[in-house]
Amino acid sequence: MEMRLRRDLRLMARWLPLMLVPVLLVASTFPGQYRVPWSYWLLAMLASGLFVVGDRWPLAVSVALSVLAVPLFRTPAWGLSGLVPFLGAVALVEVVMRTRRNRGVVVAAGCWALAVVLGRWGSHETSLWGAATVVEAGTYVGVPLLLGLYLRGQRELAASLRLRATDAENRRAEAESRTRAAERSAMARELHDLTAHHMASIVLRVGIARHVVADQDPRVDAVLDDVRQTAADALADIRRLLAALRDPALGEVALVDAAAVRTEVAAAVRRVQVAGFPVTADIAPDLDGLDAIGRLTLLRLVQESLTNVMKHAERGTPVQVDVVRDNAGIAVRVRSRGRSGDNAAGHGIIGMRERVELAGGTFAAGAGAHDWAVEAWLPLVEVSTAAGAAR
């Protein structure tokens, strides 16, 4: 809201001379001798029109207004209309304020000084022509220069303060994130030490007991199988909680179910589309079968890949996102035109590869002839369970 207000005020200031100059010219026109010539009207309106586009080309507009100021100074005008040539001084202030190159400032100041000397030469008493004109030119040039330098300093100071504030906020957020991550890691280690070992021992002992009492009542086998499955489910829950505790950036919704993961993936795709990238997405309607680690890995993989696209690809680059079932697992493919990803050793690629390998899947990323691709495959939990039972 504040930025919009500032933009509106700058726009009003830019158009103000075009609206105010005709009023000054009309107010300076009287019957008889005191009239504003039509040539002055034409030059004045041309100068105010040029001032409107000074935001885009400040140096060129400043030079043009200095050129127009010469005939405006030389043309007899009455009253407030004599202020019109000083649009050149305002343009000089803007050049000094916005231009960091000294050459541009020297050119603008020299043109304005020359315009004042040529325009005001002969307007004083004969004995004072030279000295008065030089002093007048020095004043008309020196004041805009000082004002422009002051405004430039204020702009740079404001920009520096904003940068420092942003940097301090980023450092604070980073320190808070590190503290939370350290606390979560400590909690994860404690949880693992307290429960995981005992639960794994229970699963193993129940399996041994089932073999020992293999010839007993089938109801005993059913009870032992139920205990073993319950313990295995508890281990899976512990694994899910460990993953959440070790990654403080993960949202709770990603831990709930496959439908929530699909919703989050679709939201990530929409964010890229809003950023100006045409995205074609093929997301499987059914993502059931992934465990908590697999679902979290899938979500992070898509988000990280699309973030890389927005960071490194040009706006308008076509992007293809596929999250489909493939060979008893979920295949993830994110392709974009051009070099829109990290290099093979980048931290983003390394992090994604580690996540996928932790989930028991495969990962590949790299540049092709005309595109960049990230591809991964995550196994379904049924396949992993079956493989574990077979062993």
DSSP string, 301-321: HHHHHHHHHHHHSPTT--EEE
Six-digit token string for 271: 């964010």
Domain count, the chain: 2
Within-domain flag for 291: yes
* Final residue before a domain boundary, out of 91, 120, 149: 120
| Average pLDDT of the residues in 176-202 | 68
Q: How far apart are the first and last CA of the chain?
A: 63
Residue-level pLDDT at 383: 44
The structure's pTM equals 0.41
pLDDT reading at 47 higher than 80: yes
Which domain does 322 fall in, by range? 250-391
Residue-level pLDDT at 389: 40
Within-domain flag for 193: no
Find tokens 């220069």 and name the residue: 145
Within-domain flag for 167: no
Percent of the chain having pLDDT more than 90? 6
* Final residue before a domain boundary, out of 56, 90, 120: 120
Q: Assign 333 a pLDDT band (cuts: 50, 70, 90).
A: very high
CB 388 within 8 A of CB 308: no
Within-domain flag for 56: yes
SS3 217: coil
Beta bridge partners of 280: 320
Beta bridge partners of 331: 324, 377
Q: Assign 319 a pLDDT band (cuts: 50, 70, 90).
A: very high
Higher pLDDT, 54 or 186: 54
Residue-level pLDDT at 386: 41
Taking the C-alpha atoms of residue 349 and residue 342, their distance in angstroms, rounded to an integer, is 7
Within-domain flag for 126: no
List Cβ<8 Å contacts ≥24 apart for 57-65: 58/91, 58/94, 58/95, 58/98, 58/99, 59/95, 59/99, 59/104, 59/107, 59/108, 61/91, 62/88, 62/91, 62/92, 62/94, 62/95, 62/108, 62/111, 62/112, 63/107, 63/108, 63/111, 65/91
Within-domain flag for 195: no
Q: Are strands 362-367 and 329-337 parallel, antiparallel or unpaired?
A: unpaired
Query: How far is C-alpha 292 from the geometric centre of its chain's CA atoms?
Result: 31
Q: Assign 188 a pLDDT band (cuts: 50, 70, 90).
A: low
Q: Mean pLDDT in the chain?
A: 76
CB 335 within 8 A of CB 372: yes
Question: If you average pLDDT over each of 4-18, 41-55, 245-259, which comes out highest?
Answer: 41-55
Residue-level pLDDT at 258: 63
**Pure H helices in 28-57:** 38-52
Q: Assign 98 a pLDDT band (cuts: 50, 70, 90).
A: confident
* Final residue before a domain boundary, out of 100, 120, 140: 120
SS3 160: helix
Within-domain flag for 214: no
Residue-level pLDDT at 32: 59
CATH code at position 325: 3.30.565.10
pLDDT tens digits, 130-166: 566 667 777 778 888 888 888 888 888 888 888 888 8
Identify the CA nearest to 91 among candidates 137, 150, 144: 144
pLDDT tens digits, 197-237: 667 777 777 777 777 776 667 777 777 777 777 777 777 66
Within-domain flag for 148: no
pLDDT reading at 101 higher than 60: yes
